[in-house]
Amino acid sequence: MKKIILILCCIAMVGCTFQTKHRGYVFPNDLDEKIATIKTTAQLEDLIGSPQVKTVHGETVWIYFGEDENYHGPFPLTYDNKTVLLAWVNGNRVVRTRVLHDDELPDIDMDSNETEIPAAIELNATEELFNNIGRFSPAGLGQ
């Protein structure tokens, strides 16, 4: 009985681990000071890298985003250290920059529903298995 309790406790402890994964860009700690000295897009790309998004309409704005995704065992995910860097660009010049942190960003709740895909075909596991037969070439044939 003691062995069973010990095994259950070990399994419960493994499920309660804490892990943090970084998503997006890893910004330097002194981002505000470093960004203030940037005047060209080449300097910005050397410091941070290529932007995740460039706007297509209106003023050209380069957008960088980074956050920490925290896992706490069986509990829901939490996010912190959210940072958004906005850089207004005109040609090869950086006209203006703005850094937004956690407290300046709005909280957005995601809807738990899924968007249906028109004309989507729903297959169960067996149908998926048989649907894939013959789709893949044998290894080593170079196809």
Taking only the tens place, the pLDDT of each residue in 128-142 is 777 777 776 666 555
CA separation for the pair 91, 54 (Å, rounded): 13
Asked if residue 60 is part of any domain, the answer here is: yes
| Burial (Cβ within 10 Å: 0-12, 13-18, ≥19) of residue 83 | buried
Q: State the pTM of this model.
A: 0.61
9 domain residue, yes or no: no
Split at pLDDT 50, 70, 90, the class of 13 is low
Q: How far apart are CA 22 and CA 41, in angstroms?
A: 25
What confidence category does residue 64 fall into, taking pLDDT thresholds of 50, 70 and 90?
A: very high
Q: Is residue 136 part of a domain?
A: no
Number of domains the chain is built from: 1
Q: What share of the chain is helix, strand, coil (3-state, %, to 5)?
A: 25, 30, 45
d(CA 143, CA 140): 8
Q: Is residue 95 part of a domain?
A: yes
Residue type, 39: K
Distance CA 4, CA 6 (A): 5
Q: Identify whether 37 is part of a domain.
A: yes
Handedness of CA 95, 99, 104, 105 (dihedral sign): positive
Q: Is residue 79 part of a domain?
A: yes
Whether residue 116 is contained in a domain is answered as no
Expressed as residue numbers, the domain containing 94 is: 16-107
Residue 40 lies in a domain: yes
Residue 143 has pLDDT above 60, yes or no: no
Give the closest residue to 44 by CA, choosing from 55, 28, 58: 28
**Residue 121 CA: distances (Å) to CA of 103, 117, 133, 142:** 43, 9, 17, 31
CB of 92 closer than 8 Å to CB of 40: yes
